[in-house]
Structure 1
Amino acid sequence: MRVALHSVLREGREDDYEREHATVPDDLLAALRRAGIRDWTIWRSGRHLFHLVDADDFAAALGVLADDPADRAWQEHMGTFVDRFEPGEDDRTNALAKVWNLREQPPRPREGHS
């Protein structure tokens, strides 16, 4: 499953966030993989971060990570840079509502042709 998230950086912390997030600790990478997270990409526009996460089950992964010391340490550290996650469609994960996907749209019959 793929989920999108939206978070907002604290004012003036953009460069610090990018520097700190250029690489993440190996124990965190291992924790993410154990939780079933296959990929996580983050884009930034100003203070706004947009995350695309590919996971077996993102809600379940968050449950696994909640008790993981590597993730807890990382979240605490990142809290100095990230102001908040914007609420999403799902209160538990903050996942954004998917609106459209190119690959999922079936072709439509062309008008005037049978």
Structure 2
Amino acid sequence: MRIALHSEIREGAIDDYRTNHARIPDDLAATFARVGIHEWTIWRSGHRLFHLVECDDWDAAVAALADDPADHAWQADIGRFVELFRDADGAEGTAPLERVWDLAAQRDA
């Protein structure tokens, strides 16, 4: 499955976020592979970040990460620069954004 997420960088933290997120820790990359997260790309527009995640099952991956030491360490580190995540309605939360349109899906229909 492919999902999108939206987060926001803390005021004044863009350069530090970029620097600290240039490479994730190897143990976190291994955890992602173990829980079925195959690809994760992040784009920035101003202080907004847009994430595209390709995974087997997002809810299962999030549940598996809840007790994972590598993810906890990463969140504590990178969390210094992230203000919050927003859901599809703009409220605080990590629920995937609503997919409005997909060219491949239209083409395949």
TM superposition score normalised by structure 1: 0.88
**1:2 matched to 2:2:** yes
Contact 1:14-1:47 within 8 A present in 2 as well: yes
Of all paired residues, the percent bearing the same amino acid is 54
SS of the residue 1:38 aligns to:
strand
Structure 1 residues not aligned, in runs of 5+:
109-114
Deviation beyond 2 Å, 4+ runs, structure 1: none
Question: Higher helix share goes to which structure?
Answer: 2
Matched, 1:41 2:55: no
- What are the residue-to-residue correspondences of 1:23-42 with 2, within 5 Å? 23-42=23-42
- What secondary structure sits across from 1:61 in the alignment? helix
Asked if residue 95 in structure 1 is aligned to residue 96 in structure 2, the reply is: yes
Amino acid at match of 1:81: F
Task: Using the TM superposition, give the Cα deviation of residue 106 of structure 1 relative to its aligned residue in structure 2, in angstroms.
Answer: 4.2
Q: TM (normalized to structure 2)?
A: 0.91
Secondary structure of the structure 2 residue equivalent to 1:105: helix
RMSD of the alignment, in Å?
1.9
Task: Give, in angstroms, the shift of residue 99 of structure 1.
Answer: 0.3
Runs of at least 5 residues in structure 2 that lack an aligned partner in the other structure: none
CA distance in 2, matches of 1:10, 1:92: 16
- Counterparts in 2 of 1:75-86, with a 5 A limit? 75-86=75-86
Report which of the two structures shows the higher radius of gyration computed on alpha carbons. Answer: 1
